[in-house]
Amino acid sequence: MTQKTIQGNSFIAKKIKERRNELGMTIEEAASKAGVGTKTWCRYEAGESIRKDKCKGICRALSWYKFPHEDDEDSNRISLQEYRKHEAWSEFLESAFGAGAAIAFAVGSDLLDDHLREDLEALKSQPRGTHIGQLDISWLMEDLPPQFLMEYDYDFLYRMKCKLNEMRRKAKWGEELIAHSVLEELILYLCNQEAAVYMELTGGVDYLEEDEEEYDTEEWLYDLLGDMDIVTFLYSGLYVNNEEAYHYNRWNERQFYCEEIWSKEE
């Protein structure tokens, strides 16, 4: 599993407080923008440990490009040797696209799973049909395709979490991670996005092997998917109508890389 916390210290606490004051924000305002409670933010400024999946929110609240570290940046880099023991390490991704792709899925799937769990926790106490856009704080609202915002209710997030868990099990068992549906493509895309942010915050990957190149944060994903349609249709401001493959109503259909579809087309 991803190491969950950054050890708190006076340097980080001072940087957070100074930046908040520099922006003229109250603790309540900063906490709200970061998606945490005021007590949690106060603990940050007191020098206590910070969950790594909360760093993205802190950076968003403080308009930081990356999280500050007192020590040399390289000391926070992700260890390839460590991540090869990760429960969602994919030998398939490593073999086909390089170790960086396998790390991206392992790291990103941890973070996406945390975000799904937190949004599900918030939705379960709301009336049936409540979607994440109605929550005071949603970790996923800004990451999911905006056209279908009102569709992201408890049932959708639960289904997405189950599919993510299924893909993590496939990775662990060495099976191919092939996206047959839009939902599977979306999960891979979100995992990669989360991992890219995380790696910026932690300084990248310590590959150890001299011949291992730094991975391209997007190239491996589009090579795996076979195209950039997930971005073109869902993240480029296009309107997706009911008849198109990327319409929300078809996200769970097996549409890509399926033998049964190829046989019908022949």
pLDDT tens digits along 161-210: 999 999 999 999 999 999 999 999 999 999 999 888 777 766 666 654 44
> Last residue of some domain: 50, 70, 90?
70
Q: Are residues 128 and 195 in the same domain?
A: yes
pLDDT at 54: 82
Q: Are residues 161 and 95 in the same domain?
A: yes
Number of neighbouring beta carbons within 10 Å of residue 99:
21
Q: Are residues 247 and 140 in the same domain?
A: yes
Provide CB contacts within 8 A for 258, sequence distance 6+. Answer: 180
pLDDT at 250: 97
pLDDT at 12: 87
pLDDT at 71: 52
- CA 230, distance to chain mean position in Å, is 15
Q: Are residues 64 and 155 in the same domain?
A: no
The rounded radius of gyration (Å) of the Cα atoms in the chain is 20
Give the bridge partners for 79, in sequence order. Answer: 206
Domain that holds residue 14: 5-70
Q: Are residues 171 and 112 in the same domain?
A: yes
pLDDT at 264: 46
pLDDT at 124: 94
> Last residue of some domain: 42, 70, 98?
70
pLDDT at 203: 62
Q: Are residues 117 and 219 in the same domain?
A: yes
pLDDT at 82: 74
Q: Are residues 167 and 83 in the same domain?
A: yes
The identity of residue 194, as a single letter, is E
pLDDT at 73: 44
Predicted TM-score (pTM) of this structure = 0.75
Contact 89, 171 (CB under 8 A): yes
Q: Are residues 56 and 188 in the same domain?
A: no
Provide CB contacts within 8 A for 186, sequence distance 6+. Answer: 144, 145, 230, 234, 251
Q: How many domains does the chain have?
A: 2
Spell out, as residue ranges, where the chain has pLDDT lower than 50. 1-2, 72-75, 208-212, 261-266
pLDDT at 80: 72
Q: At what angle do helices 182-202 and 55-62 cross, to 10 degrees?
A: 70
Q: Are residues 135 and 250 in the same domain?
A: yes
Contact 111, 53 (CB under 8 A): yes
CA angle at residue 15 from 12 to 21, to 5 degrees? 140
Q: Are residues 141 and 192 in the same domain?
A: yes
pLDDT at 7: 74
pLDDT at 33: 86
Separation between Cα atoms, residue 21 and residue 203, nearest integer Å:
26
Q: Are residues 108 and 204 in the same domain?
A: yes
Q: Are residues 66 and 82 in the same domain?
A: no
- CA 159, distance to chain mean position in Å, is 17
Separation between Cα atoms, residue 109 and residue 103, nearest integer Å:
10
- Three-class SS of residue 154? helix
> Last residue of some domain: 70, 101, 125?
70
Separation between Cα atoms, residue 49 and residue 259, nearest integer Å:
50
How many helices (DSSP H) and strands (DSSP E) are in the chain? 12, 4
Helix (H) or strand (E) holding 253: none
CATH, residue 18? 1.10.260.40
